[in-house]
């Protein structure tokens, strides 16, 4: 079973795939910063089952995994968060986590578009490392941590980096001026300023968690890739990315 994810994404096209295959699969390739991911749309409508999202594997493999899950659900299976499942990856059982709705605008966004609401359940299929350890377990391969953001937690801090990561800001931001310019440079450094070209003597190094505390809404930019920046005229305006 295969969905044509290259077709235009319209509600009609999604519905056609759901009617024919049981679900529509959205595939998002990785970029320099964020991992690839894929997810279903339609499992909830067709079978009353949560949609499923998976991160960090080759797109073709994730498509196969989701198609296999859809076929099992069609035959009566139901996946839950308290059980390991052996049937997806050889010798490496996967587990499922419930996805917090705070993540819906950033990841299963096409599901929100199709359902015209965020009131639908989503499960995240999480795969282990070669030692069969999961990202939340001690000893999990640290090189794989950024491959799978865990969407059941850290809704107040969605960045891939650690909370104590050093980032650049200015004295003015620390004194209360709003953050109007964010730059994620090619080296991976984050900058949060009230103007695009701050004076060098005003620059300060603080923990990323402090920036999120100053402006909790800044997590909206957690997917900003290397070399990208975002600006807004006032805190009430939407971010413009380039």
pLDDT greater than 90 at residue 21: yes
Tell me, yes or no, whether 158 lies in a domain.
Answer: no
Q: Do residue 122 and residue 196 come from a single domain?
A: no
Average pLDDT over residues 181-189: 97
Asked whether the predicted pLDDT for residue 3 surpasses 80, the reply is no
Both 112 and 173 in one domain: the answer is no
Number of compact structural domains in the chain: 2
Q: Which residues does residue 24 pair with via DSSP β-bridges, in sequence order?
A: 41
Residues 92, 197: one domain? no
Q: Residue 91 has what pLDDT?
A: 84
Domain co-membership, 123 together with 212: no
Query: Does 4 fall in a domain?
Result: no
Q: Are residues 220 and 143 in the same domain?
A: no
pLDDT of residue 4: 46
Q: What is the DSSP string of the chain?
A: ----TTS---HHHHHHHHHHHS-EEEEE---SSSPPEEEEESHHHHHS--EEEEESS-HHHHHHHHHHHHHHHHTT----TT--B-SSSTT--BEEEEPPGGGTTTSSHHHHHHHTSS-S-EEEEE---TTS--TTSTT--GGGGGG---TTS-TT---SS-TT-EEEEEHHHHTTPPP-EEEE-TTS-EEEESSSS--GGGEEEEEHHHHHHH-GGGGGGTTPPTTEEEE-SSTTSPPEE-
71-99 residue pLDDT tens = 999 999 999 998 999 999 988 999 999 99
Asked which of 88, 116, 147 is the last residue of a domain, the reply is: 147
Kindly state whether residue 51 falls inside one of the protein's structural domains.
yes
Inside any domain, residue 3: no
Q: Which of 87, 118, 147 is the last residue of a domain?
A: 147
pLDDT digits (tens, 9 = 90+) for 49-64: 999 999 999 999 999 9
Is residue 59 domain-resident?
yes
24 and 126 belong to one structural domain:
yes
Domain with 214, as residue range(s), is 166-241
Is the same domain home to 69 and 15?
yes
Residues 6+ apart with CB under 8 A from 40: 23, 24, 25, 26, 51, 52, 53, 66, 69, 70
Evaluate if residue 1 carries a pLDDT over 50.
no
Identify whether residues 174 and 141 lie together within a single domain: no
Q: Quick check: is 72 in a domain? A: yes
Task: State pLDDT tens for residues 187-242.
Answer: 999 999 999 999 999 999 999 999 999 999 999 999 999 999 999 999 999 999 99
pTM: 0.94
181 and 228 within one domain:
yes
Q: Are residues 176 and 208 in the same domain?
A: yes
Whether 60 and 134 map to the same domain: the answer is yes
Q: Please tell me whether residues 178 and 67 are part of one structural domain.
A: no
Structure confidence by residue, pLDDT tens digits, 120-167:
999 999 999 999 999 999 999 999 999 999 999 999 999 999 999 999
Which of 147, 176, 207 terminates a domain? The answer is 147
In the chain, % of residues over pLDDT 90? 95
Residue 156 lies in a domain: no
108 domain-assigned: yes
Banded model confidence at residue 9, pLDDT cuts 50, 70, 90:
confident
User: 42: buried, middle or exposed (CB in 10 Å: 19+, 13-18, 0-12)?
Assistant: buried
């Amino acid at each position: 079973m295969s969905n044509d994810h290259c077709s235009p994404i319209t509600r009609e096209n999604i519905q056609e795939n759901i009617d024919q295959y049981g679900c529509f699969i959205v595939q998002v390739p990785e970029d320099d910063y964020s991992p690839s991911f894929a997810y279903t749309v339609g499992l909830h409508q067709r079978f009353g089952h949560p949609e499923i999202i998976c991160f960090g594997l080759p797109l073709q493999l994730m498509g196969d995994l989701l198609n296999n899950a859809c076929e099992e659900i069609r035959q009566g299976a139901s996946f839950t968060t308290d059980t390991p499942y052996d049937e997806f990856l050889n010798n490496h059982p996967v587990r499922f986590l419930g996805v917090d709705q705070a993540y819906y605008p950033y990841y299963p966004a096409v599901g929100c578009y199709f359902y015209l609401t965020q009131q639908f359940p989503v499960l995240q299929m999480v795969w282990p490392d070669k030692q069969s350890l999961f990202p939340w377990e001690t000893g999990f391969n640290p090189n794989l941590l950024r491959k799978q953001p865990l969407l059941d937690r850290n809704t107040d801090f969605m960045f891939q980096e650690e909370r104590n990561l050093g980032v650049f800001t200015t004295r003015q931001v620390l004194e209360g001026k709003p953050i109007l310019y964010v730059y994620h440079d090619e080296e991976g450094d984050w900058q949060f300023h009230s103007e695009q070209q701050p004076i060098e003597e005003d620059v300060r190094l603080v923990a990323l968690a402090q920036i999120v505390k100053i402006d909790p809404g800044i997590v909206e930019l957690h997917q900003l890739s290397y070399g990208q920046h975002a600006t807004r005229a006032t805190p009430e305006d939407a971010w413009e990315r380039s």
